[in-house]
Amino acid sequence: MKRAIISALFAAGVLGVASADIQAPPASEYTPTRKLGRAIANLIYSVEEIPLGIINWTSREGDYAGFSVGIVDGTATMFERMGYGIYELVTFWAPTYKCTYKPPYQGRCGMSGLKEYNPNGGLSEFPAELSFQSYYKYSRQQRD
């Protein structure tokens, strides 16, 4: 009897862990609040695209390109990001892309592949940060 109870508890534990994988579908992290947050971030931080354009063009082509083409490219990207921000602010309550709130971005960028981006326009889901950015919640590891 004791063996049957232990076997039943073990089987219930294994089945409970096995079904935990399908509890949250991939689109569950994209909600109306995330879309609203993305819209507000795009509107507020779209101005950062101008210095980011200068930095990108200066590192690729030099100072003259950075302060001429970089300003124009950054300004165009700023207005593009503002447009997406206004669009998502107006439609944050409604699913738009394949009945989800996920932006219609096709690829991933960066070494870790955490940021999604639009390969046609080059915009990431959230605006770029001009300061230090870390995806990790810790700075040191404890050694055994």
Task: Note the pLDDT of residue 94.
Answer: 84
Give me the mean pLDDT over the 4-20 stretch: 72
Task: Spell out the domain ranges in the chain.
Answer: 27-117
CB 70 within 8 A of CB 56: yes
* pLDDT tens sequence across 99-108: 666 666 555 5
The three-state secondary structure class of 67 is helix
In this predicted model, which residue has the larger pLDDT, 110 or 6? 6
Per residue in 15-49, pLDDT (tens digit) is: 666 555 556 666 667 788 888 998 999 999 999 98
**Which residues are CB-neighbours of 34 under 8 A, at least 6 positions away?**
101
SS3 for 129?
coil
CA distance between the termini of the chain: 43
Q: What percent of the chain has pLDDT over 90?
A: 19
pLDDT at position 43: 94
Query: What is the pLDDT averaged over residues 130-135?
Result: 61
Count of CA atoms in the C-beta half-sphere (13 A) of 58: 11
* pTM passes above 0.85: no
Q: What is the pLDDT of residue 31?
A: 82
According to DSSP, residue 130 is labeled S
**Token couple for 55:** 């930095």
